[in-house]
Amino acid sequence: TKLEKVMGRPIYRNDFTIYVTTFPRGPYNYSEGYMFDYYGWNNPIMGFMHELCHFQFIHYWRQNPDSAVSKLKNAQFEWLKESLTMI
């Protein structure tokens, strides 16, 4: 609910698959709706929220041809996607 309020958009899908990993990174696959959550993070819910922010950003802005974000080069998009998730 909080993420929907912050982004002004509903969560774009109803199901996600979360894999627990010992690798301290959070790789994900937007198309298939899965992500990895590092078991050593203090707050796994925040890890999920971080990755979900990526998914939301890709879905509502990168995939939207009317959005300026859809016109960015890949490197620019990746920089913006990570920056906005940290905010």
Cα distances (angstroms) measured from residue 72 to each of 10, 44, 59, 65, 67? 24, 31, 15, 11, 10
Q: pTM to 2 decimals?
A: 0.84
Q: What is the pLDDT of residue 41?
A: 73
Residue whose structure tokens are 């913006």: 80
Residue 87, pLDDT score: 62
Residue 11 confidence (pLDDT): 95
Task: Please state at what angle helix 74-86 crosses helix 44-57, rounded to 10 degrees.
Answer: 140
Residue stretches of the chain with pLDDT short of 70: 86-87
